[in-house]
Each structure stands twice: as structure tokens, then as C-alpha cells.
Chains A and B, each alone.
Chain A
Amino acid sequence: MEKSGSVDSLGSRQSSSRQPSVDSLSSSSTSRSDRSSQAKPASAMSSDSASTNELSPELRQQSKLPAKLLRGLNSNEPQLLPKETVQDTAKDVTYICPFIGALRGTLTVTNYRLFFKCMDRDQSLALDIPLGVVSRVEKIGGTSSRGEVSYGVVCKDMRNLQFAHRQPDDTLKKSIFEVLMKYAYPISNSLAFFAYDYEQIFPENGWKVFDALAESKRQGLPNESWRISKVNDHYELCDSYPSTLVVPVTIPDEDLRRIAAFRAKGRIPVLSWIHPETQATVVRCSQPMVGVNSKRCKEDEKLLQAIMDANAQSHKLFIFDARPSVNATANKMKGGGYESEDAYQNAELVFLDIHNIHVMRESLRKLKEVVYPNIEESHWLSNLESTHWLEHIKVILAGALRIADKVESGKTSVVVHCSDGWDRTAQLTSLAMLMLDSHYRTIRGFEVLVEKEWVSFGHRFQMRIGHGDKNHTDADRSPVFLQFIDCVWQMIRQFPTAFEFNEYFLITILDHLYSCLFGTFMCNSEQQRLKEELPKKTLSLWSYINSQLEEFTNPFYVNYSSHVLFPVVSMRHLELWVGYYIRWNPRMRPQEPVHQRYKELLAKRSELQKRVEELRREVANKAASLTSERAGSPTRSITPVQTFV
């Protein structure tokens, strides 16, 4: 049985749960600990304000809490998750807050989190950070005159922490920061991720959100031109691809095997999305291994021709190479390259000029320098410009827009690839699909999109994020998925009514990209995930999200079907996502959101509707009784009273 919150197991789990009173109040949650990593309004969220961090949403919904519990909330110890255990606690630790200054308190390290509670009388500050967020822990300088040692903790979510504490007198005893390093890097220390221990009951099993066959069926596949191939059932054709592949009916499996040898990492062209009316398709793959000798592959050429033929609307095929043409050409030296126009008749190749993972990592590093801890007010915009972050966001969005436009307006099928087809390709296809298909703009649809284009198609989350790995300088790390979410946020900004989810949904996804509480973003491929039995042994992020949809719902959502979004890809409209990148700064109070006011108006409407309905009935009754009196008849309600809604 898969690990999930099936209701029948509820009784036994609860009794075995070590979670004390607090958790028994919450029926479905990852509980308080997570809240620290979630986007509450900045006043609540800023790392240095305790306020609502202390409260799980469930607790807040309990209108009357016993006094005992309230005291518990202010305790010095974190509210532990089931199976979470304290590994070490140190008193008299100083947290050097960049916004407030030095604060003394107690630091606790568990197998899941780092928890600091300020003990100064006037401060109610608490830091509560999942260890998965920790990128680097390092000693800064030597021992001070007071016998204190400083440690810096660099986080993956745009903040750095600095602590100072006295070395234990007992030289054999480990410093709490050594304990921290052990549990922050389970991979490097041959430990299991906390996700494998974590247990929680959710009403829904998020692992079932995405089913490749069901999603194909939703798209009308298989059909007369496209079939579902079992060639990769055991990941023999391509170990980083999903088992279910959609390919043209005219290409037999043995051709696919030959094509796999011609495409980098065996990532052959397969269908991601098909237009319900025009049959134009979005196809993804990796670069062809043409090399310096311009090698060709007959089957590959046949496949691309078949993709074109499957769409009667157009006699052309567009190949979008995500890379700058210089990079694509350079790849020829390493055996890769791009499709030549000689080999692929009727195909047109377009380079989208998106830079590689190293450029993006460097850009994010610069961005962090500019936004944390404080921004320089007088040169904010030029500093932001110098990071090129928004420029990269723009190029990615522009590429996706070109793809969406070709498919929608040009009714032409497109093939998208970069080098390996798991980073830039995933960004482009998923964003283009988000523009083309309103289903992906619902909460569940978006979950499917992420599961499909990112998780199942082998975006290497483990490698790009470096979960639990102490090697923080690893050149394979890169904010590829973060850029995708940033692009989605830019689209939400431009189309405030087109998405069912809100900004908080996106921030929650990003927080759990790093937290390692859920299995959703662990491992590098579907094959690895199955091998590790993640769906059985860990929980899905979507279980958590789908159990409290209201928090993630955009009240302005208008479900207009078959509406294609063409965002304006211009610096005039792109903005830095302050609510994510600068949320730790207590001065970054979010702008007053209108959502709350909207809810108030909704409540007012229903109240008014109720009163109108009551009056309508009253009037109807009076009219009826009048009529009956006049008619002297005992029959009631024979006179229809005009009503309206």
C-alpha cells in the first residue's frame, strides 16, 4: 500500500503518533514546523518575527484555544512533527540578526529542522528552518575573546544566518553546529532523509494526482496519429524518461531504439501536448548527436517528418533550440549539435538564446547579493539590472511565447530541445503549455504539469538542488526550477484572473522544493523514484496542498476555457518577485492584498442573499394567506409570486 492518508489507518496512526496535544488538533497538516517556511505576509514571515510563525493554520482556525496550549506555543522548543527527534540543544547561542542585531537564545537541532528561540525578555523571535534549506555551514574566524565561535549558515532560500556561541568546555563534546552539519547533509553522512520517517494523515494521496495515461486521455491520446509506446516500460530505452511515451503511430519501437542512440542520453522526441483542435503538437527531446562530422539518422529524420505529417494544418515544423547558437555549435565538438536544414526538410530551426545552468546560478548569486540582507535604495534598479536575473526570466518567457504562438497562431507543430532536454526544455514546454492550455492553470492541473514536464521527464532535482549534499560548490546546482516558478509568477501578475492558484501556492512549492519533507522533488528521474519507492515511503507535497486548497486559491479566478495567454514579454512589465526573494527583510511588508476584502464582499453577498430570500418567502406567505382569505379557500400558495434572483 502506498504511504498516504487513507482514512482507515487513521486510528492506529494517531495512537502511535508521538505528537502531543497540538497535533491532535490538526487533522491535516504538515503542522507548525512547515509554516516557518511558508509565505505568510512578511510581517509574519520575516525570519526575525515570530508572530504567526508560531501558529499553524489549523491552530488559528481553532477559535478558542485552551490556555495551556497558548503557553506551549511560546515554549523554547519546537513543535515536533511525528517521528521528529531533537538531536542537540545549546543554550546561550547568539543569533546575529542583520535587521535587529545580536539576540541571545536557545538553538535546537532535530533530524528535520534548525530552531532558534530568542530568550531576551522583550523579544519573541523564533527561527524555524528545515535543514533541507541549509546549503553551507562554516566557521567564521577564530575564537573571540569571550571564547565564542561564529558560524555562518548559508541557505538556499535567499538568506544567510549568523550565530555565535561558546565552544563546549568538554572538548570531546561536539559543537551543535557539527550536529547541524551531520543532519543537514544526510547524503554525505549516509543518513536517510527525514521524508522517509515523516508520517502525517492527509485526506488525499498526492501521488495519485498525476497519471500519465489519464493525462494522455485528457488530451485525446492515443488517436489516429499518435500512439502510446511501451518501449521504455523498464527504462531500457532511456533511464531519465518516463515509462509512458507518446510517439507517432508510423514510427515502430525499433526505430525509436535507433533514434535513442542518436539523441543525447537517449531522450528521443516524444509528445508533450497536442492542440485539441488543430492537432499541432509540442514535442520535446535532447540534442541530436550530429557532432563535427554532421552525422545523420534516417529514423530520426523520419520521426520529425511524421510529427509534421500528423498535423494537417501545416507543412512545416519548427525546431526550437533553447540555447544560444554559439553554444549549440560548440556542442558539436562534444558530439552534440543541432538539426541541419539539409537533413530535415521543411523544418526550420530557431535558437532561443537561453543561457546555461552556470550563467543562471551566477545570476542568482548576484541577485542574493543585491537583495540580502538590505537593498541599496539609491541604486536599486541599476543593481537589479546588473544581476541580469529579470533579463534571463524574459528570455525564457519569450522563448515559451514563441512556441505557444507557433502552435496556436501558426497551427504548426514544434520540437523543443536544449542539450540534454531536462532543464531549459522543461522550462519552455511547461511554460508554453501553461499559456496554451487553461487546464494547467488550475491547482490540480498545475500539479499535473509539474509532475509531467519536470518530475516524470527527469529534471534532475536531486542534482540541481543538491538535497542533503554538503558539496555546496557543486557545478551541477542551478535554479532552473526556481526560474520556471518565477516565470509563472510573472504570468500571474499579468493575468490576475487566469490562474486558480495564488502567489502563496508558488512560494509553498518553492519552500518544499528545498525542505525535503516530501518526496515530490527528491531523486533525479522516475526510474530512481520507483527504485527508492518514494510513493510508498514518503508523502507527496500535493497531499498537503490539496488538503487545504482554500489557502492556495486565487479568489479572482475566472475559469474561461480555451483561452490562450500571450503575456507581454517586456522589461516594462517584468518585476522582481519581492514577495519571494526579499521576504526575509522585515521592512518588506507586502502590499495590502485585495483578497481579504474580496472575501468580505463574498460574505456580505451571501448574507444579503439570505435576507432577500427570507423576505421573499415572507412576502410569498403573506400574499398566499391574503389570497386564501380573499378566496375563502383553504388551498395555499396558488398565486405565483414573482421572484427573481
Chain B
Amino acid sequence: GNGEIVVNEANFVRKCIAAESSQDDLWGKLICTNFKISFITHNSIPQQKFQYVHHLLGEHDIPLACVDQVVTVNDAKGKQKVLGSNQKLKFNPTELILYCKDFRIVRFRFDEAGPESAKKVCLAIAHYSQPADPQLLFGFEFAQSRQYGSSGNIIERVNGVDPGGGCQTPLFDRPSDWDREIKRTGASEWRVCSINEGYTVSPSLPEYFVVPASMADLDLKQYACSYTGQRIPMWCWNHSNGSSLVRMSSICDVQQQRKLDQRVSSAITKSHPQRSEVLTSDLDKTLPSIQEVQAALIKLRQSCVIEPFEESEEKWLSSMENSRWTEYVRAFLRHAVEVVYMLEGKRVSVSLQEEEDRDLCCVVASLVQLMLDPHCRSLVGFQALVQKEWVMAGHRFLDRCNHLKKNDKEEAPLFLLFLDCVWQLMNQYPAAFEFTETYLTVLSDSMWIPVFSTFLFNCPQQRAEYSREFVHSKSIPLGNEQALKFPPVWDWSQQFTLKDQTLFNNPLYVGKGATCVQNGTVKTFRRTKQRNYSSTVRGVPSALKNGLRGDVDTLSRRNSLVARLRPDFSQAREVTETPCERFTREWFSRPTDLQGLLLPQLLPTHVTLWRLYFLRWVPEASISQGGAITAFHKLSLLADEIESLQNQLRQYNTSGGVGGTPASTPNPAHPEHGRMYFKCTPSPNRAASTPEYLSSSFPFSPVGNLCRRSILGTPLTKFLNGAKIWLSTETLANETV
């Protein structure tokens, strides 16, 4: 009843599990709907002991939008064809290979299926995964049926509230969200401007955005014509020292350039309490282009999942280098650090400039805020950041995801690159983020589920336009609603249960009300003033300064002599050091405050491959009963125990302490769920062992996705396939006997 309809199907299809043998393959029915490719099997696959249920997708399902290439094969005739939309297929396929955007590769065989039905289902998949029109994207049907029901009647919302907490995330589609952001960052010299209501000024800017208080609406309207896409400078964020971050497109009217630059700069300067100058950072000149980023991902995918595992081992390191992916990750992080230096170290405002202001600016503006503003490292804060700097700022998700598969040149994984940058920061500061790498991965995967307002459109105006057209063409009664309502991805209950959503929570997170330990006693510190957050290390409680320094630090060391003996190399450094390098070096010589500024280490030894994301579908690379998840598990148990102790305390306090039997009262905040996915069992002789189902690709088990079903049981086969290259021919001969 969510608008999904079956388009075509074929029976007696075999889903290939192992690359080289067929003994573990699954038999079932291959179905193509207007949303996904489904495989229904009656074979029992070894049931996973953990339940990670997706509300929209089954274990073998692939959303059509996730399919990158549809390849049909006929081995008898030695033919192979990449199927486009509305194409003909001159041979009967014996095999279908789906290359997916999330790095999966799925193979189906039609040996026992009827040749005609096999052909039909392949053509259907090719056709429906390349929709000719945006309104054919499943999100429209989904939104319609969600909103009005399949019968077309308006469904009454039961209580008008999304249960998944998506509503806590500001969407920045109304002035009040911007007002709150202005207040939160203390940007008193900035104002919300509504000249773009109805998108009358710029088609790609949001209806409401923030501009210098000194600029009049009339002037803004006039200036707009001179900017590419009429994108007048738009405020992103304010530092507590008064400097601000602004983004803008290039000025296309060359004659106006000087005058405009001057006017805008002086307006931004006026909004700075110290009247500091504005520095412009031209991103097009310093960062890789979107085409280069796309090329890097294609090379990376080639190495990670397409080339045979064993053969690519020998040249793995140089193939990583040749893909240039991590090099680009470093480049974006480095650029963000330079902007951070200007805002924080030089205390000047920065304006990010890019021809269209819709790609590179999104990455850099959000990275800068992640480093400077601890609020962006909380879950809601991060979602607000993406909403503000990507969705509302008009990142062309529809084109960059290439949902319509119309223009491959426009496709570019900018958002994935950004998530990789976030992961690098997270990897270097594991306690600084409220969310986990599972969250980042799931967020990335959601790009390929085309039902969320977040990733479906190129800009807010397009969303309004398309949904209006859809409503019109389908003659849907509008009722009180103005347009179709697409859920934002932040409404996680669309995809996951509350229990599964707890996999997003980082047990290590040092949040605002973080606990710190000094000389064995626990203190909870709260920041007194809201605006303290970006005053970096210096203004923050000394107890936390050494918080995570050194794995062998003893607790008592933090207030010891270390600081006094810390060397200062400043005098002896060569003069070649740039001010930004000096700023970074000095920051690193101080203890880290996780609620302050965070700078990434940028050496190639510290920026590494995001293994969970890129290798999760590769069974040979999966560490069974190992990987970071095992430490995460142990930490979760401890965090859960702390949480339940806190609940007990709370109950003692509320029950007045008289005759209290606190166990009988459940936690009022979360009736059945704690913050942690893994629970500590309160039995006295608790087994501390790590669950057997954990692996380095948890919770994205490769079971059923081009992998061996028996992978957990026999490391022998896994090993032999992974290490053939190391065996002499003689050994191989022996091995096969």
C-alpha cells in the first residue's frame, strides 16, 4: 500500500552467492517493481543472529536507483550487453549482473528460467532503473500514497508527529529555523531575508536565507542579476569571535565585479564586531573538480570490488594511490583547515566562492563547521548541517546521484566524499561525534532510496515545482496541503526500528554534559554559556583538556607537569612554515578539547581507506569476530550499564527514597530502549564474550551479497581463495588432490 507495483517477474532464477562455485546459490523468484529489484527465495540462508530489519528493503532487495549498470550475458554465445533504457536485447540472457552504486555486485542466472521471461525481467529492470522522467522516481508514488493513501483520500495523521524524531532536525525551510541558527551562533549583525519567497529571485537558493543586516532587500535583488544562478552571498555560520563564513557563486557580469565585490565585502565587514576584512577563498582554483572526484571513485571501485581479490593484492597500495580518492579527501580536509585558520586564527570572515556555489562549497562549508562547532558533531546538529549546507543550499542531488541516468557527466560523489571526510575526523577523534560510522554508511545508502526529500532534487525550488506538476498531472485533490510531502531522510523511522537506530549512537561520545574524571572523582561539566563552544581549547574546563591524550596516560597525569615541559619549537622552525601550518602545529601541541576546535591530521599515514564503507560487501575482506565493532560492543555494554545506573539514581530521587522499588518503574524517557544497541545483561555471572555474528562489516553482512554462505564456518576456503597467489604451483597441485 505504499504505491509499489510489480512490473515483471521471473521464476526459477538462481542468485549467485560465491564467485566460483554454484553450490551455495539460492533459488527463487526475481521481481522488478517500480521501486526495487526483489529476490524471493525459499532457500533458507543461515539466519543471522542479529536482526537488522529495513522497513523498505528486504535482505536481497536493491532499489532501482541504486543500480549503476545492468549487464546481460549469454555464455553459450559469448555475448554480453550493457542494457540501457528502451533497448532491445537480441539474445536470451543466461545471466544478469547488476553493478550497484553502493559497491555491491549482484549476479542472477537464468539456466532454469524460461528464456522469454528472463529477457523480459532484464529489460524491465533496465527500463525502470533508468526513468525517463523525474516523476517516475518512486518517491512520488510513495509520497502520494503516504499522504493521501492509495485511494486518493487524505489520510488523517494520527497525532501529527513523526515518531522517528526527524522533526527535531530543522529543515531550514522556514524563517524561524534560520533565526534560531543566528541566535545559536551569536550572529547578531545578520538577518533572515525573504526576497526569494516563491523563488522569484534565484531558482537554486532557498526561500529564506541569511544576509548581512546592513544590506537592503532592494540592493540584494539588484545584485542578484550579476551572480551566476542569481545566487547572492549567503551566510553559513558565525564564529563566536564575530567572524563569519559566507558562500557565493561567481559574478558573471564582469563589469559589475569590482563594484559588487566591494559592496558585499563592506557589508560583511560591517557585520563583524571588529570590522575585520573578508578573505575570499576560490575553491575552483584549489580543489579537484567534480569530474576528477567521480573518476577517483570509479578507480577506487575498480580496485575494491571489481578486480579479482587475489590478483589485486600485490598492487593494492599503489592502486589506492592511483585512484587518488584519499588524496582528494585530504585536499578537501586541508582546504577546510585553511578556512578554519582564517576564521579562528586570523579572526577574519571568509567567503567561499565557486562558479555555481553548489558543489565544492557544500563540502568545505560543512567541514569547516564540523571542525569549529561541536554542535555539528551531535546527531541533530549534523543533520541540520547537511540540511543547511547541502539540501537548502541547492546541491544538485538529482544530477550528482544521476537518478535519471541521463547525463553521466553530471554524476559525482561529492556527498560521499564529504561523508568520508567526516569519517576521517571520526577515526582520528573517536569520542568527538555523537554518531557512528554505521550512521554515516546508512546515510550514504539512503541516497539510493529515492523517497526522501533530502536526496531527490537539485534544489528546494525543483522539489516544489516537480511535486506541483505531479499533483496536477495526477489530478490529486490538494486539500489543505500545499504540495506533496516527501519525508526527509532524517525521519529514520521510515527505514529502521528504534532499536536498530541505536546503532547510530556512539558510546564514547563526549557531549555537552560530558563527564570528566579528575583524580578518580567524576564531575559533570556543563558549558555555562551557549556561545562558548568555539572559543576552542583555552576557555574550556581544564579537566577535559587532556581528556583523550595518550593511551597510557594515567588519570593523575593530566594536571601534572606535562604542559610545562611541552616543547615549543616556534623559535627554531624554518621560516618556510606558513601561518596556517604554524596555527595547526601549535594547536596540535596543545591538549585536545573535544567540545572545541578539532583539526584533522593530514599526513597520508593518517588519512586512510574507509574500510567499512568500501569493503563491506567483499567477503574475503571481512574479519569474522573482529574489527572495530568488537571494541564498540564492549564499550556499548559499559555505556549501557552507566545509563541504567543513572536511571536507577533518577528513580531513587523521584520516588523520594521511601519504599522505592526502582526496578518496577521503566525509564520514562525511552520506554523500552536505551541509547545503546548492545545491552549489558544484568545477570550476575554474565558472559563477557563477544557475539559470534560480529564482523568487520557489521551490520552490513555480506551474506547473500556475492559471498559464500559458509564464510563464518570455514576459514580454510576463505583463506585459500585469499592467498592463492602466495602458494607455489607445486603446493597448488597438492592442494587440489
Contact = CB atoms under 8 A, between A and B. Distances in A.
Interface of A: 39-41, 43-44, 48-52, 54-55, 57, 60-61, 63, 65, 70, 73-74, 100-101, 103, 120, 122-125, 324-325, 348-353, 375, 377-382, 384-385, 390-391, 394-395, 398, 401-402, 405, 409-410, 494-498, 502-504, 550-551, 556, 558-560, 563, 565-573, 575-576, 578, 582, 586-605, 607-609, 611-612, 615-616, 618-619, 622-623, 626, 641-642, 644-645
B517 A599 contact: yes
A611 B649 contact: yes
Interface string B449-493: 000000000000000000000000000000000000000000000
B429 interface: yes
Nearest to A587: B603
B634 interface: yes
B621 interface: yes
Central interface residue in B639, B714, B719, by most chain A CB within 10 Å: B719
A618 B552 CA distance: 38
B56 interface: no
Contacts of B557: 60-61
Nearest to A125: B567
Contacts of A349: 734
Interface in B582-608: 588-589, 592, 601, 603-606, 608
Contact of A381 (B321, B606, B635, B734): B321
A630 to B, nearest CB: 11
A44 B550 contact: yes
Contacts, number: 327
B295 interface: no
A436 to B, nearest CB: 12
A381 B572 contact: no
Nearest to B519: A63
B520 interface: yes
A622 B635 CA distance: 36
Contacts of B628: 496
Contacts of B611: 572-573
9 contacts: A52-B562, A63-B519, A375-B604, A380-B605, A401-B723, A494-B627, A495-B630, A568-B622, A612-B645
A570 B714 CA distance: 17
A575 to B, nearest CB: 8
B620 interface: yes
A336 B689 CA distance: 47
B642 A618 contact: no
A384 B430 CA distance: 27
B669 interface: no
Contacts of B560: 55, 60, 63
B641 A605 contact: yes
B218 interface: no
B715 A409 contact: yes
B727 A589 contact: no
A450 B180 CA distance: 62
B626 A596 contact: no
Contact of B317 (A103, A571, A601, A645): A571
Contacts of B549: 41, 43, 592, 596
A612 B407 CA distance: 63
B589 A43 contact: yes
B216 interface: no
A619 B517 contact: no
Interface string B101-142: 000000000000000000000000000000000000000000
B515 A405 contact: no
Given A353-B727, A398-B723, A644 B565 contact: no
A582 B309 CA distance: 29
B522 A604 contact: yes
B626 A567 contact: yes
A382 B326 CA distance: 13
Interface residues of B, number: 112
Contacts of A391: 314
Contact of B690 (A394, A497, A602): A497
A51 B562 contact: yes
B563 to A, nearest CB: 9
A642 B661 contact: yes
A596 B547 CA distance: 7
A501 B522 CA distance: 27
B88 interface: no
B19 to A, nearest CB: 15
Given A409-B716, A572-B316, A597-B510, A619 B592 contact: no
Interface of B: 309, 313-318, 320-321, 327, 427-432, 507-508, 510, 515-517, 519-522, 547-557, 560-562, 565-574, 588-589, 592, 601, 603-606, 608-609, 611, 615, 618, 620-628, 630-631, 633-635, 638-639, 641-642, 645-646, 648-649, 652, 657-663, 682, 684, 688-690, 696, 714-716, 718-719, 722-723, 726-728, 730-731, 734
Contact of B734 (A348, A592, A626): A348
A350 B734 contact: yes
A74 to B, nearest CB: 8
> Which 9 residue pairs of A and B lie closest in terms of their CB atoms, listed nearest first?
A593-B551, A571-B316, A41-B550, A608-B645, A380-B604, A381-B321, A566-B715, A385-B317, A496-B631
Nearest to A318: B734
B515 A600 contact: yes
B320 A573 contact: no
Contact of A123 (B510, B517, B571): B571
B423 to A, nearest CB: 13
B428 A592 contact: yes
B316 A588 contact: no
Contact of A591 (B318, B428, B565, B734): B428
A100 B722 CA distance: 45
A55 B622 contact: no
Contact of B572 (A63, A120, A611, A615): A120
Contacts of A587: 601, 603
A589 B730 contact: no
Contacts of B606: 578, 591
A122 B728 contact: no
Contacts of A63: 519, 556, 560
Given A41-B549, A494-B626, A601-B508, 13 more contacts: A43-B588, A49-B566, A51-B567, A54-B565, A353-B728, A401-B715, A495-B630, A568-B622, A571-B316, A592-B429, A597-B510, A598-B635, A601-B638
Central interface residue in A55, A124, A578, A589, by most chain B CB within 10 Å: A589
B572 A594 contact: no
B430 to A, nearest CB: 5
Contacts of A351: 727-728, 730-731
Contact of B318 (A65, A375, A382): A382
A324 B428 CA distance: 40
Contacts of A496: 626-628, 630-631
A283 B604 CA distance: 42
A377 B641 CA distance: 44
A385 B318 contact: yes
A60 B628 CA distance: 31
B649 A608 contact: yes
Given A497-B631, A604-B522, A405 B565 contact: no
Given A571-B317, A612-B645, A645-B682, A592 B431 contact: yes
A339 to B, nearest CB: 13
B488 to A, nearest CB: 32
Contacts of A495: 623, 625-626, 630
Nearest to B663: A644
Contacts of B731: 325, 350-351
B321 A380 contact: yes
Nearest to A121: B571
A569 B589 CA distance: 36
A41 B601 CA distance: 15
B550 to A, nearest CB: 4
A123 B315 CA distance: 44
A152 B646 CA distance: 60
A93 B80 CA distance: 73
Nearest to B735: A350
